[in-house]
Chains A and B, each alone.
Chain A
Amino acid sequence: MLQTVSLSCLRGDRRLFSNLNVTVQPGTLLAVVGENGSGKTSLLRMLSSLLSPEDGAILWQGQDIREQREQYCAQLTYIGHLNGIKDDLTAMENLALSASLAGDHCDGPVAHAALEAVGLRRQAHQLPTKVLSQGQKRRVALARLWLSTRPLWLLDEPFTSLDTAATGLVTEQLQKHLTRGGIAVVVTHQEVGLPSGLIQRLRMNG
């Protein structure tokens, strides 16, 4: 269970949000929506422990994440608006390295399977990612979701620059994650195509 307790965020001297209380139960996707600059990404970065809250706390399984930082990091997969992939490495190398650094199991066949699952054709696997299109790069980053068995996924605009086919694939994978009892927090402008019972909406007002 992921919970925020009277969370507030200050960027510079601007208060983005304050006294935010949300509880996300296992098997639920929290869709964070709102206009640009309303603090959606800041909230996600706080949830990932990259940003420390101005006030309030974030609880994971009832415990403050600041007190269990490393254990908490082992529970989450964070994909920010930056892809976190290296231009000079191939899609395969990127995926294998980032998965093994995160501690997810990943060998050759598994990585190929993940890249194919996200809709990246096999000839693109061995190309340096700098020659791939934006959407393909995004797919390489998102392929980590096929390797991650962690209970908490934090995704910042996962569908940007994806085509409808890839959006469908990612949504499917999200649904699988939720039925396994996982939690996902997704910052998005698009509707997430999941049954409404699985989605909880959080509207940020800036």
Chain B
Amino acid sequence: MNRPSLWEALRGVVRRDLMLAMRRRADVAMSVFFLVIVASLFPLGVGPEPAVLRTIAAGVLWVAALLACLLSLGRVFTADYLDGVLEQMVLIAQPLPVLVVGKVFAHWVVSGLPIVLLSPLLGLQFGLDGEALGVLVLSLLLGTPTLSMIGAIGAALVLGVRGSGLLVALLVLPLYVPVLIFGAGAVTSSMAGMGGEANLSLLGASLVLSLFFSPWATAAALRIALE
């Protein structure tokens, strides 16, 4: 029968989104530059005192990463919704939550991964050293996919709503709070010599939890948006 295998469908979804991202590199660059600029504004505002910068580093970098993720959420489903590609995706003969995972993964590769890769450089800017830098990267590696998964629910819920950019921020930011606390906490506690393992484990747990629940919630929201 005319039915793509689950793997084929998943690969197709990821491939299309990555191809599109390659065609519109400016969009990708935008959230990365946003992160760099926000993170660079703080030293300018707070002053060049190394001790102060080190204290605020974890929080500032995590908030900047979080806002950069938020900024890119509009790209997950909106364009597909407007040009009808989303309708076609819902009609693929495979479970929608799995396809949603593909879409969110592609979105993370384009918007989350650059943040993770860039973070050591920004960390250096704030005077973080070896171990703390490592924990920062690790915490973002675990945290940004969680942000994308949670954000996808919000992005799907506000499809077709006017002023959705602000609404998605209001919906999603409260849900980002635990991730922010664990992520920044991991870096802070490793700087205090306590090791970041506990917070990193909690971040990992949030990721697993969001991987489990978010695709279903997002798929349900997408179906409602298309009705």
Closest to A154 in B: B91
A83 vs B95: C-alpha distance when bound (angstroms): 23
CB-based contact A73/B20 at 8 Å: no
Given that A86-B20, A101-B4, A103-B2 are contacting pairs, would A70 and B84 also be in contact in the complex, using a CB cutoff of 8 Å? no
A163 vs B205: C-alpha distance when bound (angstroms): 57
**Of listed B12, B83, B90, B91, residue having the most chain A CB within 10 A:** B91
Give the chain B neighbours of A104 by CB distance below 8 A. Answer: 2
Complex interface residues of chain B between 1 and 18 (CB less than 8 A to chain A): 1-4, 8-9, 12-13, 15-16
CB-based contact A84/B84 at 8 Å: yes
A148 vs B87: C-alpha distance when bound (angstroms): 17
Give the chain B neighbours of A75 by CB distance below 8 A. Answer: 1-2
Q: A96: shortest Cβ distance to chain B, in Å? A: 10
Given that A50-B91, A78-B88, A101-B89 are contacting pairs, would A150 and B2 also be in contact in the complex, using a CB cutoff of 8 Å? yes
Q: How many residues belonging to B are interface residues under a CB distance threshold of 8 Å? A: 29
A101 vs B19: C-alpha distance when bound (angstroms): 15
A98 vs B90: C-alpha distance when bound (angstroms): 12
Give the chain A neighbours of B162 by CB distance below 8 A. Answer: none
Q: How many residues belonging to A are interface residues under a CB distance threshold of 8 Å? A: 34
Give the chain B neighbours of A89 by CB distance below 8 A. Answer: 16, 19-20, 23
B170 contacts chain A at the CB level, 8 A cutoff: no
CB-based contact B3/A86 at 8 Å: no
CB-based contact A71/B227 at 8 Å: no
A36 vs B69: C-alpha distance when bound (angstroms): 41
Q: Is the interface of B mostly helix, strand, loop or mixed?
A: helix
A75 vs B91: C-alpha distance when bound (angstroms): 10
Give the chain B neighbours of A35 by CB distance below 8 A. Answer: none
A4 contacts chain B at the CB level, 8 A cutoff: no
Give the chain B neighbours of A103 by CB distance below 8 A. Answer: 1-4, 8-9, 92-93
A203 vs B6: C-alpha distance when bound (angstroms): 39
Q: B125: shortest Cβ distance to chain A, in Å? A: 34
What 1/0 flags go to B85-104 for Cβ under 8 Å of A? 10111111111000000000
CB-based contact B87/A73 at 8 Å: no
Given that A74-B1, A102-B2 are contacting pairs, would A49 and B91 also be in contact in the complex, using a CB cutoff of 8 Å? yes
A97 vs B226: C-alpha distance when bound (angstroms): 21
A33 vs B226: C-alpha distance when bound (angstroms): 23
Give the chain A neighbours of B19 by CB distance below 8 A. Answer: 89, 93, 97
Q: Which of B1, B85, B90, B227 contacts A86 (CB 8 A)?
A: B85
- A101-B9, A103-B93 given; name 10 further pairs at CB < 8 Å: A49-B91, A74-B93, A75-B2, A84-B87, A87-B83, A101-B12, A101-B16, A102-B4, A103-B1, A103-B3
Chain A residues close to B by CB (< 8 Å)? 48-52, 70-71, 73-76, 78, 80-89, 93, 97-98, 100-104, 128, 148-150
21 interchain pairs, CB-CB under 8 A = A50-B90, A50-B227, A51-B226, A73-B91, A75-B2, A78-B87, A82-B82, A84-B84, A84-B87, A85-B85, A86-B16, A86-B20, A88-B23, A88-B24, A89-B19, A89-B20, A98-B85, A101-B92, A102-B4, A103-B9, A149-B2
